Structure 1
Amino acid sequence: MTASTPLRFDPSLERPEDDEAQVRDELIATMRSISETTYADGGHALRSVHAKSHALLTGEFEVLSGLPEPLAQGLFAKPGRYPVVMRFSTNPGDILDDGVSAPRGLAIKVVGVEGERLPGSEGDATQDFVMANAPAFAAADAASFLKTLKLLAKTTDASQTLKKAVSSVLRGAEAAVEAFGGKSATLTSLGGQPLTNVLGETFYSQTPYLHGSYVAKASLAPVSPELVALTGMKVDTHGRPDAHREEVNAFFSRSGGEWELRVQLMTDAEAMPIEDASVVWPEDQSPYVAVARLRVAPQTGWSEAKADVVDDRLSFSPWHGLAAHRPLGSINRTRRANYERSRDFRAERNGCPIHEPRSLETLS
């Protein structure tokens, strides 16, 4: 077997730890504490992570034709076009001034997807992709993530002035690291994310998933010239607490955008582990290959009306989808219950039922 041959999934590739259930419960409790704090402060229930949205977009998701068998799996088994919702965000569980920089997130909901469902999403017709703007997760597994989350939870009520000052210092430290060709997941996760345009980012699933009979990670990269031009472009946040929303609205008032969804198949179980989400899978062994195009026409990029629908009435989870794309590894196994609890907390506190859409018309 050559290094470029995709490996078929074997259950032995997943190795849950004995204390995983306890870690999951502590993660639920920690995330609940973040939600309780922000709800007490603002009277409105928010996501425990990725609370602030910067762009809320609708468009079309096109599965490409002519894909080879290892790529033509699950949602990608045959060509098709689907409505799609995109939610760009940043990591914290509270609504912060954009001068406090943090890793960016992207949640994608493909609507009208039929097939055998993942547990908990029976009867639905969506496929979600949950991504961030780094190729690997900041923590190796759920236990490591819990340690970081507990530290971040303690800062939920810290003043924004302090957070902006700390973020500025961390951005300087991260810039120094990058000047020497490196990148620190720790610095960016704590507030050192460069203040660049969110629309120019490439996003990654970071964690692995089934890809039918195979194992893969996914990414979404801008490909239309107007979006590519925004990659690395600095955003001035001085006196602009919602600078990213302003930039998004300015862009989509004059232009549409196009992205590629790409898949990286596992070809080496040691170099591309399932249980250690902090490992970047080497692209020289298995490059990301396009399997779909995502197109968004000019529109209002963010508005209170859109936020009322997408932020408050929708939830995104890697466990919303087809059984052919089951999430794998420690981080993903503990995510299922955490995402469900966060959704239920928001629905109960806000008195707003959360349902999976079957068409974009139901979002209006």
Structure 2
Amino acid sequence: MALSSSQWADLSVRKYVAWDAANVEVFPPHEEEDMKAVITLVNEMQQRQYDKARHCYGGTHARTQGIIKGKLVVPGDLPWHLKQSELFREAGEYPVACRYSSEPGDPGIDDRIPQPRGFAMKIFNVKGEMFDAGGDDPTQDIEFNSTPVTELADAKTAREILEMRLTYGHDKPELYKHLKERQDSRLQLSRDNVPNYHLESLQWYSQSPYRFGNFVMKFRLIPSTETQCELSNLTVKPEDGQDVLHRWLREFHFNHDAAFLFEVQLLENLDEQSVEYSGTVWDEKKYPWQPIAELVIPKQDSWNLARKTFWEDHMRVDPWHGLVSLQPLGGTNRLRRALYPASSALRRKMNARPEIHVKGIDEIPG
């Protein structure tokens, strides 16, 4: 791992906040009402896409850029404070399936348009106490985004922003006019100004916090091979074509192995590290990232059509499908707990495709 033994020793004696301590989660007023409204808005967005494409997609992350298989490697020499949850308590290797995507709900969005990107991970053969929603499936589902924070930072904000997008989404100047009037305008406008780089060079963030055994964490993936790091200066240009991201990604995975460090950032100060609001960054200089595992991806075809179709039509990644010891926390994740099943239900109904809860990685084609 990337830290020295002396650094581990220093970090192991810090006072980390317990996941069930007072005020870690603070439920705001009217949250349930806001969540119901968000579900209605997302379903409306899905319906509008169906009216255009005659196929129903998720409310976000509709454009698949690639799907790959690999393994998550957990070392056996982690210090005590990082041996949290059944997943990281002992050395082990777990099969993993991952999907790269573009975040907006439009499956036809041009890759040359700068937008946040997504990375979803389904870890197999996981053992431990699971939430009821995915209790029959021994998987840990994990979501990442290419930006460290989300502009849909809690249920109330999500409701307000999605209402604006549905009302003014066809008129960008008008949408920007209303976004600029908000106190969080800088956050809301930031998604249209993210760097548009090769997907394999990006860092991937959880954005929202999660339980980490006894503690609370955010997590991220960091590219860790020299080849991936060399791609960090490769920026999408107008002449590259509207499908450049998946073409670049496919070429890379055909010719190179890949690897990412899986790192966690632990909660130490509730005044500076918000759990309820996912629109602020936790200062990594004060609260450093600590590596706990490695994602290893061998050479393969990342654009397998059978795999892509199966994932889009039958699968979903849901952070509430997994270990109780890695419980999603905060307003953003409580919203996901209600929203994801409702969004999936509409997709299955409109597309006449059943949801399949895969129990092993070999059930995914390709």
Give 3-state SS (helix, strand or coil) of 1:12's partner: coil
Say which of 80, 101, 111 aligns to 1:69: 80
- Counterpart among 6, 11, 16 of residue 6 in structure 1: 16
| Superposition TM-score, scaled by structure 2 size | 0.88
Hey, what's the Cα distance between the residues in 1 that align with 2:331 and 2:89?
Answer: 27
Identity among equivalent pairs (%) = 27
Give deviations 1:29-65, integer Å, cap 9, x for gaps: 0100011111111111111111001121111111122
Deviation at 1:155, TM superposition (A): 5.8
> How far is the alpha carbon of 1:127 from its aligned partner?
0.6
Give the aligned residue type for 1:354: E
2:151 is the alignment partner of 1:127: no
Alpha-carbon shift at residue 132 of structure 1 (Å)? 0.9
Answer whether contact 1:83 1:110 (CA < 8 A) is retained: yes
How far off is 1:285 after superposition? 2.2
Match of 1:37 among 48, 61, 73: 48
Higher alpha-carbon deviation: 322-331 or 191-200: 191-200
Gaps of 5+ in 1: 170-182
Check the 8 A contact 1:223/1:259 in 2, yes or no.
Answer: yes
Q: Are 1:287 and 2:288 matched, yes or no?
A: yes
Match of 1:79 in 2: 91
2:323 aligns with: 322
With over 3 angstroms needed to count, the CA separation of the structure-2 counterparts of 1:99 and 1:287, relative to structure 1, is same
1:49 to 51, 60, 69: 60
Which of 18, 26, 31 aligns to 2:37? It is 26
Q: Offset at 1:237?
A: 4.5
Q: Which moves more between the two structures, 343-352 or 285-294? A: 343-352
1:145 Cα deviation (Å)?
2.1
Contact preservation (8 Å) 1:237, 1:243: no
Among 81, 84, 109, the alignment partner of 2:122 is: 109
**How many residue pairs are counted as aligned between the two chains?**
343
Tell me if the contact between 2:187 and 2:279 (Cα under 8 Å) persists in the aligned partners. Answer: no
Residues 1:153 and 1:271: Cα distance change in structure 2 (over 3 Å): same
* RMSD, aligned CA: 2.3
- Aligned partner of 1:188 in structure 2 is 190
- Residue deviations 1:55-113, cap 9 Å, x none? 21111111122112221111111111111111111121112121222111111111111
Q: Does 1:149 align with 2:162?
A: yes
Mapped contact 2:73–2:93 kept (Cα < 8 A): yes
When structure 1 is superposed on structure 2, of 74-83 and 8-17 the one drifting more is 8-17
Is 2:112–2:236's contact at 8 Å kept on the other side of the alignment? no
Residues 43, 59 of structure 2: 8 Å contact kept: yes
Q: Give 1:251 deviation, angstroms.
A: 0.7
Q: 1:187 is aligned with what amino acid?
A: L
Query: TM-score w.r.t. structure 1 length?
Result: 0.88
**Alpha-carbon separation, structure 2, partners of 1:193 and 1:238:** 19
What is the CA distance between 1:212 and its match in structure 2?
A: 0.7
Secondary structure at the counterpart of residue 255 of structure 2 = coil
The 2-side partners of 1:323 and 1:130 are apart by: 16
Output one character per residue of 1:168-216: Cα deviation in whole Å (capped at 9) or x when no partner.
Answer: x9xxxxxxxxxxxxx9543332x22322112111011111111011101
- Secondary structure (helix, strand or coil) at the match of 1:59 reads strand
- Which deviates the most, 26-35 or 113-122? 113-122
